[in-house]
Structure 1
Amino acid sequence: LAERTRVQTVTMDMNAAYQTIIHEVFPKAQVVIDRFHIIQLAARALDQVRVQALKQLDDKHSRPYKIMKTNWRLFHQTAPDAKHKQFLFGLNEDVTQHETIDIALDTEPKLKQTYETYLAL
């Protein structure tokens, strides 16, 4: 018990059961959430908002719909390419990754806000 009371911090994931046990075993320890799990939670939230935005779009053939549906990985990049254009199937045009994201974000303010928060994290 003497050694366990000297433990100052414990890093863990966000499982609530672990947190309860940690406080029992290490009574003076401060719990620190693992960075990976925080980013993972933010990424899931971004995907949920993207899917909600998809469901609100009536035109399933629109550029924003196609981008949000098929190019979802672009939203998880920390630095999308803004210089090199590439041909995107579905859109059938040459655009940069940054332009692609902007097309989708301009249609849904909540998605844009969530995306910017995700990047800030």
Structure 2
Amino acid sequence: MIIDGSNIAQRIGNALDSVRKNIQKRIDDKQNNRAYKIMKSQWKIFHMMYEDLEKTKPYYMRGINEYLTQEQAIGIVFDEYPEFGQVWTAYQEIMKAMHNKDLSGFEDIITHYTIMGNDMDSAISTFAKKLIREFKTASPRTIQMDALKV
């Protein structure tokens, strides 16, 4: 089995977006909710690796009409919606394992993942089933680390 990094990135990215959109739908006062405005207008920052987020220099964020760092913006969202922070953390860990071609780290993440009752669960359970099946039936040489990159 070759674990296709682009397939994994796409599935978990879609799951992250789905959870974000579901949270946005639950918000009643969309016009006055800072977290909603950040999730709506600055959605791309949630797909960035934490290391790449701007942490020191605030810039004007359209949609929310404030000067914030990207780190502050995601912090506002995660403070109000910690379940989204948990999904984002899982996304970050998987992307980091893929970037580092860390198959054992990737396996640890998906086999020790805590079910949260959202779309990230199905994405991760799919990869967990495939990995477990492969490890039971194949030699380690059949799993190619080069496929674990984005």
TM-score norm. by structure 1 comes to 0.71
Distance 1:56 1:106 in 2: 16
- Contact 2:60–2:68 (Cα < 8 Å) also in 1: yes
Fraction of identical pairs, as percent: 36
What is the CA-CA distance between 1:90 and the residue it aligns to?
A: 2.2
Match of 2:47 among 69, 76, 81: 76
Per the alignment, in what secondary structure is the counterpart of residue 44 of structure 1?
A: helix
Q: Which has the larger strand fraction?
A: 1
1:49–1:110 Cα contact (<8 Å) kept: no
After superposition, the CA RMSD in angstroms is 1.0
> Does the 8 A contact of 1:85 with 1:97 survive in 2?
yes
Which structure exhibits the higher relative contact order, with contacts defined as CA atoms closer than 8 Å and separated by 6 or more residues? 2
State the partner residue of 1:95. Answer: 68
| Bigger Rg, structure 1 or 2 | 1
- Name which of structure 1's ranges 33-42 and 43-52 shifts more when overlaid on structure 2: 33-42
Paired residues of 1:81 and 1:96 also in contact (CA < 8 A): yes
Structure 1 stretches (4+) deviating beyond 6 angstroms?
Answer: none
Partner of 1:37: 7
Give 2:18's match in structure 1, choosing from 18, 42, 48: 48
Structure 2 unaligned blocks of 5 or more: 95-150
SS at match of 2:54: coil
Amino acid of the structure 1 residue aligned with 2:82:
P
The correspondence for 2:87, drawn from 98, 110, 114, is 114
Q: Secondary structure at the match of 2:80?
A: coil
Alpha-carbon distance between aligned partners in 1 of 2:28 and 2:22, rounded to the nearest angstrom: 12
Structure 1, unaligned runs of 5 or more: 1-30
What is residue 34 of structure 2 aligned with on the other side? Answer: 63
The structure in which a higher percent of residues are helix is 2
